[in-house]
């Protein structure tokens, strides 16, 4: 019985994390950057290494909204690297968010600078990127 209760609690925790993540993007689309940042921080606090690529996508979207295109490019590099390590890629919604951040960062920085910042982010230690 204890293992069932534990499994239910973990699944509920994962659902809360995913809902907070999705809500962060909704808040970002509404222009509520502070609320989006708060929700992404809550996700970070509840997450392990497997959620790093998604946190990086959220951080890239938030960086674009903040006008910090170098950080957005670095976070895209982090996401790319984390997905490669995990042997997977983003789902359709996350891929769309990543593409939006990519387009905005390239438009702001130009291809060459974007590529430099992205390469820098790809080298960041994944377990330290979102350490509390």
Write out pLDDT tens, residues 22-56. Answer: 999 999 999 999 999 999 988 888 887 888 999 99
pLDDT, tens digit, 9 for 90 and up, residues 59-82? 999 999 999 999 999 999 999 999
Per-residue pLDDT at 4? 45
pTM (2 d.p.): 0.87
What are the structure tokens assigned to 43, written together? 């996700």
C-alpha to C-alpha distance for 13 and 86, rounded to whole angstroms = 21
Rounded distance between C-alpha atoms, residue 33 and residue 65, angstroms = 7
The CB density around residue 112, as the number of other CB atoms within 10 Å, is: 9
CATH architecture of 2-129: Alpha Horseshoe (1.25)
Task: Report phi then psi at 101, rounded to 5.
Answer: -65, -40
What are the pLDDT digits (tens) for 5-18? 554 455 667 777 88
pLDDT over 70, % of the chain: 87
- Transcribe 64-119 into DSSP letters: HHHT-HHHHHHHHHHHHHHHHHHT----HHHHHHHHHHHHHHHHHH-HHHHHHHHH
SS3 13: helix
Quote the tokens at residue 83: 């997905």
Domain boundaries, the chain: 2-129
């Amino acid at each position: 019985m204890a293992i069932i209760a534990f499994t239910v609690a973990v699944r509920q925790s994962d659902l809360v994390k995913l809902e907070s993540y999705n809500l962060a993007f909704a808040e970002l689309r509404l222009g509520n950057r502070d609320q989006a940042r708060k929700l992404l921080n809550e996700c970070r606090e509840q997450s392990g290494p497997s959620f790093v690529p998604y946190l990086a996508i959220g951080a890239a979207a938030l960086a674009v909204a903040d006008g910090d295109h170098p950080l957005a490019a670095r976070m895209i590099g982090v996401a790319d690297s984390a997905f490669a390590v995990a042997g997977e890629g983003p789902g359709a919604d996350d891929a769309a968010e990543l593409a939006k951040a990519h387009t905005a960062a390239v438009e702001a920085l130009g291809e060459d600078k974007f590529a430099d910042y992205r390469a820098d982010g790809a080298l960041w230690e994944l377990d330290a990127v979102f350490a509390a």
